[in-house]
Amino acid sequence: MRPEKDCQLCSLHVGRTIMVLPCGDPSSKVCFVGEAPGEKEDLSGTPFVGRSGKLLDKMLAEEGVERSSIRITNTVKCRPPGNRDPTQVEMDACRPFLLAELQDCEAVVALGRSACRSLAGLTAPMKEMANKRMSIDVGGREVLLIPTYHPAACIYRKEAREGLRETIRSIRPLV
């Protein structure tokens, strides 16, 4: 189940250049879920190709995980104007597509607060949630969810970098 090419289920379609669908290995058991496409993603149609994507790639490589061996997607497939956070309504409209993308996964890494909110309704500060494993229901199946820091938070914050690094290390055996 994928969004229609001209999807208009929420207002994000208005500013969309290209819809950003998942990248990476479609048969991977591990999926990283970010917040929403930014400017570079909207222009290229690929998740995490801008500044935070570069940092994510670097951290994955440093921990011995190849970007191409995992799956990467976002809570919403279209860029919010001015890179604002996606609203609950926008995430709700896109959630059926997100859940379809996770159908064969064993582990989901929720990058940042929007992903945590969309996937598990979590609203606590990231400091309290990061790397506390839980399970979510994906189509009647229990799937491991690991809340963690968004790569954008890691650009300037050491604590966030260490948290995301710990997450990447912990999923390595599943990749």
Task: Decide: is 24 part of the binding site for ligand URA (CB under 6 A).
Answer: no
Q: Give the integer Cα–Cα distance in Å for 170 and 129.
A: 15
Does 41 sit near ligand URA (CB under 6 A)?
Answer: yes
For residue 74, state whether it binds ligand URA (rule: CB under 6 A): yes
Q: Which residues pair with 142 in a beta bridge?
A: 137
Distance CA 51, CA 91 (A): 23
Work out whether 50 is an interface residue with ligand URA (CB under 6 A): yes
| 111 phi/psi in degrees, rounded to 5 | -90, 100
Q: Which of 34, 80, 147, 163 binds ligand URA (CB under 6 A)?
A: 34
Which residue of 31, 42, 48, 143 would you call a contact of ligand URA, by CB under 6 A?
Answer: 48
**Residue 166: Cβ within 10 Å count:** 15
Is 52 a binder of ligand URA (CB under 6 A)?
yes
Minimum CB distance to ligand URA, residue 52 (Å): 5
By the rule CB under 6 A, 28 interacts with ligand URA: no
Nearer to ligand URA, 41 or 105 (CB): 41
Apex 81 CA angle, 96 and 41, nearest 5? 70
For residues 73-111, one letter each, b for 16 or more C-beta atoms within 10 angstroms of the residue's C-beta and e for the rest, the string is bbbbbbbbeeeebbeeebbebbeebbbebbeebebbbbb
In the complex, least distance from residue 64 CB atom to ligand URA, rounded to whole angstroms: 22
**CB 107 → ligand URA: shortest distance, Å?**
18
Query: Which of the 8 DSSP states describes residue 12?
Result: G
Does position 97 bind ligand URA by CB under 6 A? no
Looking at 37, 80, 86, 163, which residue binds ligand URA (CB under 6 A)?
Answer: 37
Residues that bind ligand URA (CB under 6 A): 34-38, 41, 47-48, 50, 52-53, 74
